[in-house]
Amino acid sequence: DTGVSQNPRHKITKRGQNVTFRCDPISEHNRLYWYRQTLGQGPEFLTYFQNEAQLEKSRLLSDRFSAERPKGSFSTLEIQRTEQGDSAMYLCASSLIGAQYGEKLFFGSGTQLSVL
């Protein structure tokens, strides 16, 4: 078990460019979450998948953001036409959904995005 892996760790881009991040969850986990975190704040929910199905997207997520989990394994988060306000840490988490409350989220180390 190597934990949740995110790539790249850091990304610097110019405003207007597209960026894509990758998340590899813990292998047997069927749920995958994307969160965004800005300095001094807690993680903010963006979207989540159960297996390959995207079940919910935050209303805060503009149409410039898209996420996929093509085979229920790794996931990608793409941001098109980046804006300076997109600068943040993008966190991926995975879990094994069960039949009761209190599931454990395992987070990756995140991708720090800086939009110049």
Binding site for other proteins (CB under 8 A): 4, 31, 33, 35, 40-45, 48, 56, 91, 93, 95, 97, 101-110, 112
3-state DSSP of the chain: CCCCEEECCEEEECCCCCEEEEEECCCCCCEEEEEEECCCCCCEEEEEEECCEEEEECCCCCCCEEEECCCCCCEEEEECCCCHHHCEEEEEEEECCCCCCCCCCEECCCEEEEEC
Instruction: Kindly tell me which of 48 and 65 has the beta carbon lying closer to other proteins.
Output: 48
- Please identify, using beta-carbon distances, which residue of 64 and 104 lies nearer to other proteins: 104
- CB-nearer residue toward other proteins: 60 or 116: 60
Pairing of strands 111-115, 88-95: antiparallel
The CB-of-56 to other proteins minimum distance in angstroms stands at 8
Smallest distance, Å, CB 33 to other proteins? 8
Q: Which is nearer to other proteins, 56 or 83 (CB)?
A: 56
- Quote the least distance from Cβ 16 to other proteins, whole Å: 27
